[in-house]
Structures are given as C-alpha cells and as structure tokens.
Amino acid sequence: MIWTREKRYQPYSAYSEADKETLAEQVSSSVYKPAFHIHPTSGLLNDPNGFSYFNGQWHIFYQAFPFGPVHGLKSWVHCVSDDLVHWHNLGIALNPGNQYDSHGAYSGSAQVINDKLFLMYTGNVRDKNWQRRSYQLGAWMDENNQITKVNQPLITAPDYVTEHFRDPQLLKVNDEYFALIGSQDKQNLRGEFSLYKTQDLKNWEDMGYIKHNLGDMGYMVECPNLVYVDDKPVLIFCPQGLPQNILPTDNIYPNVYTVGSNLDFKTGTWYSDTSTLMQLDAGFDVYASQAFNAPDGQAYLISWVGLPEINYPSDKENWAHCLSLVKRLKVVDNKLYQIPVTAMSTLAVAEQTLPQNQQVLVTDTKQQYELKLDLDSNQTGNLLLASDGTSDNGLQLQFDTNNEGYLIVDRSNVGEKFATKYGETRKVNVNPHKKLSLDIFVDHSICEIFINGGEQVMTLRFFAPQTQTMIAFSEQNTLKYSGSYILLSDM
C-alpha cells in the first residue's frame, strides 16, 4: 500500500473492521511479536503517554496509528496493569477529530486530580495548506475509564514559538499546577522548555522558557519530562539536532537526561551542580521516555522502543514498535539508574543455572527470557544471543573486564538489517578490572540490557529468525562467571 497523506489522515471510520482484523492478525502471527512488552494490537505504536496510577491501577497510554506501520492520524490507546508487568490493552481511549485535534491527539501526560485522571495532550490541526497549529488540550477520565474532553484549549501557542509546541507534562507543585512543554523558538529556531502555571486548569500563565545552563539543545526539544528521584529533579527529554560536541550520540535523535539540584518554579530556573547531559539509554532504539512520581514513593520510567524517521523490518508486516519494560529509577552520584521492577519475577516459569566450560549456555531459549550473567574481572569475550551455533551469527555482546572495560553490542550479524546508516554497534565504558553484571531481557525482537545494577541500559530491537535460539560464547569457553537463565511467560 502507498501511504499517501490522504490515506494517513482519513478518519478511522474510513477503515473497515475487516481491515483492522487483517492488521491485528498480522501482528498476532508475527514471529517478532513481543510476549511481555506492550506492543500495538495493529499498526503503529510510538510515545508512551499519561503514565500514572489511578483508581487502584497503573495506567499507560500509547500513541497509535492502528491502520498501518506509518505515522498517520494519531490516537491514544489505553493499557492498565495491577503490577507494572502484566498489561491489558483496552483499545483506543482518546480519539482525534474535533476542531482542536482534527489531525491527531498527540503526546501528553496525566495527573490524578480529585477523583479523576486529568489528561493533558497536544491537539494537532492542519489547514488547507497543510500548515500545522498545535493546541494544548485537556480531558477528564473517570473511574470507569470514560473520557470527556475539555471544550476549549488549555493553552494556545504564544506568538514567539513556531508550530513546534507540544508534549505537555502536567505537574502538581504544592497547590499549583505547571505544564512543561517542548517548543521551538520562532526567532532562532532552537529547542526550548516552555513553562506555564495555573491554579484552576483554565487560566494559564505563560512563564516563558526555563532558564538553564545546558547549552544549545538543538532545533527542537521533544517530550520534556521532569521527575524527582531520590530528592533530585531529573529532566528527561529528546533534543533534536543536538550538536555532537555537547553530547556525542549515534542515534538519529537521542533521549537524554540531566540531574539538577532544583527547578525553581517561581522563576522558572533550572539549577544544577554539574550541568552534565547524559544519554538515557546507550542502545539503538529508545525515545520519548516518560517517567512519573508514583504514590508508592518510587519513580517509574517507560520508553518508546523505536525512533522517528527510521524504517523497521516489521513495517512490511504492517505493524511497528513496542514499549520498553517499566523501569524503577534511582539516582547515585548525579547518575540515573534504571532497574527492572521486582514484579518481573512473576513472569518466571523456570530458572536454570548457567553451565561452566561449555560454549553453548542455553540451547533453546524460546526467545523470551531473562539472562543474569556476572562476569569476573580481567576477561574478554563475545557472548551471542539469538545464536544459531556458528561463531558469528547472533546479537553480539563483546565484553572486556580487563584493561579496557567496555561492553559493545553489535547487531550487524543478527537477521534483517535496518538503520545501518547510524551504525551497527553501540558501546558503553565500564570500569576496567571490575566484575561486570548484566541483567538481560530478550523478548523475540527486543533486547534490554541492564548493566551493573542499572547504571547503564542498552535497549534495542533486532529481527532474527526465531530458529536462532541459542545463547553461546563465540569461542571455546574458559571464562569465569556465574548466572542463570530464566524462561519468562507471556504477560
């Protein structure tokens, strides 16, 4: 199918139920379909939205175009969970279509207010000349998950920003609400963090851009997201066009974070001791992550595993992308740690200790498992996931706990190629002469690697034949390590 603009933006009613069933069947029969990651029931998924805890459940929405593997007319699809691990897909919750969101109900966030969940999102409207206008909109969701949109826009774009003005995060600070919005300055075309204040969700005060010392944030800031972790404000966002000299990154657009000392909401000023910008994820495919402070006192993060403007191999099966696992956050020495939630253990079906002195560690992984592997110091080697028993084919994890200290993930020899323009390896440095602890989740076509207790994370998609079921070292194994393989069930 040729996805013309007309097709991408025609109303959902133009598609038949049979069309959608065909698409859903393509997802459910795909060998790449994840077992315990949120994925689209049909078509395309992107940003997580409205991550929250409300009415005794965890809620996450995702950006959806349910009719193909393209970025068309977007809605919010709703998923709920009792444990942050088992998610139930309730279908489309927030439809586009009125005068303020005729061309898409775009990304946003959620806050529990009184006995309802308030959704704040960006409505997209295109005029005859396909010029974009963005509105920041509201909607109330009740305890029956019924959603009622607020009639009027909460915020219309000020005249000093371009049409790139989106992704509001609604924050409650004492008795006031604030919205953090990604924007592009009209005069200099640079990315900024806009800040608005309100008491009543109706009258909003424009506080201008957040003042910060982070330097040039590229030509646009997407998905700004503030979360407090171990009493520190952490700003997570997606700068587009970030200069390499500010933060070297390989992905087309990075997802980054910085740990501050204070965001002063009175003056709209970001204070930090270090002003260091870091990659949120050192892998290939994380974007648009959203975190929030939950009532259990923890901060949780979930990410889109996919990147804008990149074609993925599942496109030809007419579906695309998934969300990451939920990750609990902590901050140590101004560094953000991401840790799988403890309830992940409820997926465990069987666990086996890894054998010693064998090149093949697991023969048939079933492609949905957790691998815990603690490598002793002063070793080098190459671990293959999704191996077919040859010494090359597979997702390669090249490690050095000797003089250098690194982990390289190489997806150049594992199935279908994609995004090769941006490189086929990613590397993180670890301390030389130290143990290396890996906690790896593999789910058919997604791999999440938590390094040294979540100090670094590498997330990626790969598209290998499901007959490549081994975990093996690429050479004869005289390495020192301990660990286990845990078969995981569907969620």
Q: Is there a contact between 126 and 100 (Cβ–Cβ < 8 Å)? A: no
Amino acid code (one letter) for 74:
K
Residue placing its CB nearer to a second copy in the complex, 58 or 287: 287
| Contacts with a second copy, 242-281, as mask; x by CB under 8 A | xxxx--xxxxxx----------------------------
Q: Which stretch binds a second copy (CB under 8 A): 86-94, 115-123, 346-354, 418-426?
A: 418-426
Residue 309 CB, nearest approach to a second copy (Å)? 7
Residue placing its CB nearer to a second copy in the complex, 291 or 407: 407
Tell the burial category of 461 from Cβ atoms under 10 Å away from its Cβ (0-12, 13-18, 19+). Answer: buried
Q: Which residues pair with 408 in a beta bridge?
A: 398, 427
422 sits near a second copy (criterion: CB under 8 A): yes
Residue 104: which residues within 8 A CB-CB, separation 6 or more?
Answer: 73, 74, 96, 123, 124
The residue to which tokens 């909607």 are assigned: 139
Residue 478 to residue 481: CA distance in whole angstroms: 10
Three-state SS for 24? helix
Among 427, 430, 230, which Cα is nearest to 337's? 230
Residue 442 CB, nearest approach to a second copy (Å)? 24
Residue 328 CB, nearest approach to a second copy (Å)? 29
- CA-atom Rg of the chain in angstroms: 22
Q: Which stretch binds a second copy (CB under 8 A): 64-72, 273-281, 425-433, 469-477?
A: 425-433
Residue placing its CB nearer to a second copy in the complex, 264 or 404: 404
Residue 323 CB, nearest approach to a second copy (Å)? 23
Q: Which stretch binds a second copy (CB under 8 A): 255-263, 349-357, 415-423, 432-440?
A: 415-423
In the set 404, 465, 475, 490, which binds a second copy (CB under 8 A)?
Answer: 404
Q: How far apart are the first and last CA of the chain?
A: 32
Amino acid code (one letter) for 343:
A
The residue to which tokens 């175009």 are assigned: 65
In the set 153, 381, 389, 423, which binds a second copy (CB under 8 A)?
Answer: 423
Q: Which stretch binds a second copy (CB under 8 A): 213-221, 313-321, 361-369, 476-484?
A: 213-221
Tell the burial category of 278 from Cβ atoms under 10 Å away from its Cβ (0-12, 13-18, 19+). Answer: middle
Q: Is there a contact between 361 and 355 (Cβ–Cβ < 8 Å)? A: yes
The tally of CA atoms less than 13 A away on the side-chain side of residue 247 is: 26
Residue 453 to residue 211: CA distance in whole angstroms: 33
Residue 223 CB, nearest approach to a second copy (Å)? 16
In the set 89, 98, 199, 412, which binds a second copy (CB under 8 A)?
Answer: 412
Residue placing its CB nearer to a second copy in the complex, 151 or 187: 187
Write out the H or E segment, with its range, that includes residue 33: none
309 sits near a second copy (criterion: CB under 8 A): yes
Kindly state the number of chain residues that form the binding site for a second copy, as judged by CB under 8 A: 29
402 sits near a second copy (criterion: CB under 8 A): no
Residue placing its CB nearer to a second copy in the complex, 26 or 251: 251
241 sits near a second copy (criterion: CB under 8 A): yes
Residue 400 CB, nearest approach to a second copy (Å)? 9
Please confirm, yes or no, whether 285 is among the known catalytic residues.
Answer: no
71 sits near a second copy (criterion: CB under 8 A): no
Q: Which stretch binds a second copy (CB under 8 A): 14-22, 212-220, 266-274, 341-349?
A: 212-220
Catalytic, out of 47, 285, 410, 443? 47
Q: Is there a contact between 9 and 68 (Cβ–Cβ < 8 Å)? A: no
Q: What are the C-alpha distances in Å from 185 to residues 136, 193, 221, 335, 453?
A: 17, 10, 10, 30, 39
160 sits near a second copy (criterion: CB under 8 A): no
Residue 321 CB, nearest approach to a second copy (Å)? 18
Q: Which stretch binds a second copy (CB under 8 A): 72-80, 125-133, 277-285, 423-431?
A: 423-431
Three-state SS for 381? strand
Q: Is there a contact between 429 and 403 (Cβ–Cβ < 8 Å)? A: no
Residue 223 to residue 232: CA distance in whole angstroms: 19
Residue 398 CB, nearest approach to a second copy (Å)? 11
427 sits near a second copy (criterion: CB under 8 A): yes
Residue 185 CB, nearest approach to a second copy (Å)? 9
Residue placing its CB nearer to a second copy in the complex, 8 or 190: 190
Residue placing its CB nearer to a second copy in the complex, 88 or 417: 417
Q: Is there a contact between 105 and 76 (Cβ–Cβ < 8 Å)? A: yes
In the set 218, 224, 306, 394, which binds a second copy (CB under 8 A)?
Answer: 218
Three-state SS for 420? helix
Residue 130 to residue 155: CA distance in whole angstroms: 21
Task: Give the single-character DSSP code of 10.
Answer: S
Active site positions, annotated: 47
Can you give the binding site for a second copy, defined by CB under 8 A?
A: 187-190, 216, 218-219, 240-245, 248-253, 309, 404, 412, 420-423, 425, 427, 429
